[in-house]
């Protein structure tokens, strides 16, 4: 049987995978909550879901799925977040390196229905 999928709407979801050592999980969660609060206040934000599991090395693996009105909204959010990090002096790349946090993904997806 072949499913015929159609795009539900123009909304787009940014999915990110973040691997966090147990030793820095509490600090990471505080930083993540602050970032999520900032993003939730931006125009065209729709929803965010965060999932967590533990890998075989004991690290926390987070998947975040953040849905925006469209691709332009994601681009605007990324620019706004970069400006906020600059304003507050937060260097995400240095933070991730110092804490041994690994990021994978950052891919865009559309919701499909059959």
Q: What is the percent of the chain where pLDDT is above 70?
A: 89
* DSSP string computed for 19-39: EE-GGGHHHHHHHHHHHHHHH
Residue in the block written with tokens 């997806």: 109
Kindly state whether residue 1 falls inside one of the protein's structural domains.
no
Kindly state whether residue 3 falls inside one of the protein's structural domains.
no
> Phi and psi at residue 53, in whole multiples of 5°?
-145, 170
> Please, what sign has the CA dihedral across residues 28, 29, 30, 32?
positive
Residue 3 predicted with pLDDT over 60: no
Residue 17 predicted with pLDDT over 50: yes
Give the pLDDT mean for 25-33: 96
Kindly state whether residue 101 falls inside one of the protein's structural domains.
yes
Residues spanned by the domain of 25: 11-109
Helix (H) or strand (E) holding 4: none
Kindly state whether residue 66 falls inside one of the protein's structural domains.
yes
pLDDT at position 7 is: 54
Helix (H) or strand (E) holding 81: helix 71-88
Kindly state whether residue 31 falls inside one of the protein's structural domains.
yes
Phi-psi domain of 44 (left: phi exceeds 0; alpha: psi -120 through 50; beta: other): left
Kindly state whether residue 6 falls inside one of the protein's structural domains.
no
Kindly state whether residue 2 falls inside one of the protein's structural domains.
no
- Global confidence as pTM: 0.83
Kindly state whether residue 5 falls inside one of the protein's structural domains.
no
Give the pLDDT mean for 78-102: 97
Q: How many domains would you assign to the chain?
A: 1
What average pLDDT is seen over the chain?
Answer: 89
The domain that holds 71 is classified in CATH as 3.30.70.100
**86 vs 106, residue with greater confidence:** 86
């Amino acid at each position: 049987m072949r499913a015929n999928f159609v795009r539900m709407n123009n909304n787009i979801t940014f999915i990110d995978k973040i691997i966090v050592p147990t030793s820095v999980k509490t600090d990471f969660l505080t930083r993540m909550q602050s970032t999520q609060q900032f993003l939730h206040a931006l125009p065209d934000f729709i929803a965010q879901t965060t999932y967590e599991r533990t890998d075989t090395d004991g690290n926390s693996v987070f998947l975040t799925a953040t849905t925006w009105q469209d691709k332009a909204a994601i681009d605007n959010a990324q620019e706004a977040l970069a400006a906020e990090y600059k304003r507050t002096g937060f260097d995400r790349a240095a933070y991730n390196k110092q804490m041994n946090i690994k990021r994978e993904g950052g891919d865009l997806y559309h919701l499909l229905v059959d």
